[in-house]
Amino acid sequence: MTTTEASPSSAGPVGSGAQDVEIPRARLRSEPVTGSYPGARRPDRFRVVDGDGLALAAWEWGDADAPPILMAHGGFDFAGTLDGFAPLLADAGWRVVSWDQRGHGDSEHASLYSWDADRRDALAVLDSIGPAPIPLVGHSKGGALLLALADAVPHRVSHLVNLDGLPSSRSWPDVAEHNRTSMRRSELAGWLDHRRAAGTKVRKPGTAAELAERRGRMNPRLDPAWLEYLVPIGGYERPDGWRWKIDASMRMGGFGPWRPQWSMDLLPSIGAPVLCILGLDIELMGWGTLPEDIEPMLPSRGLFIPLEGVGHFVHVEQPRLVADHVLEFLS
């Protein structure tokens, strides 16, 4: 595993596989992102982490010598969606390190996606920070992913913060083990059929406002100005308009057996102090998890904070409130 340093102004989208031949497989942005949003700040540093041959775009906020936090964004997001939250932790004396997960943002696209591959990528970024145990903070899929990482390498984790990233079986019902086994072949075949069909597709172009509006359909609680701020960070522009960089072939769970509930099942065994923050307003992009799903699963060193009047994107809707809870927990 190696890293390559670059300045934030030179960082850019990395690879798109077969989806758009105009975009090289590994490239760095040649122009800075100039948009603004109240409270948002672009990272101070950019580097590329080698995730077993796949280029992962890693970003850092805060002093380079400050104690580090590893932070993971949610599914179909990218590290730039932390621009309003990460600076609050950085200004409190932390170095926040995040990365665009494979197929997202400026990281390379892969032939196949899987939960285990995402976990290996997370470990590669963690290794690039150093061997000492550090706090992990993850939102949504990123929260579930870092829960899996904490389970795999508990000696590398000092604290674990989960931001609305605990899927329950309430909205994602599981199936019996014998049925899951019989479904495995059909599920794998279905994923490969999907990958073949989507492998040459490109996302529909549009203006920055149109891309923000599309994202707003899935994130209706978020400020349209915030969504438009994200377009030049998470998208790329061509003569026919803007497109999101996210791999069009990706879907939740990726290749192979995966159930959201498996993440929640890991929670009781986590030995590090754990903070779980849950937005109580149910929305489309969330897991549909309720407090009564989490409370029985809390480990002995677990703390649960439900937030009234907040949706799935707790760190975007209430960045100061959530940052204060995280900082108090880490202190």
The pLDDT score that the predictor gives to residue 194 is 77
Amino acid at 259: R
The pLDDT score that the predictor gives to residue 9 is 38
Please give the DSSP secondary-structure letter assigned to residue 314. Answer: H
3-177+258-330 is classed CATH 3.90.79.10: no
Contact 50, 2 (CB under 8 A): yes
- For the stretch 134-145, pLDDT in tens is 999 999 999 999
Amino acid at 123: L
DSSP per-residue string spanning 45-58:
EEEEEEETTEEEEE
Lowest mean pLDDT among 46-50, 170-174, 221-225, 277-281: 170-174
- For the stretch 14-62, pLDDT in tens is 333 333 333 333 344 445 566 899 999 999 999 999 999 999 999 999 9
The interaxial angle of helices 141-152 and 115-129, nearest 10 deg, is: 70
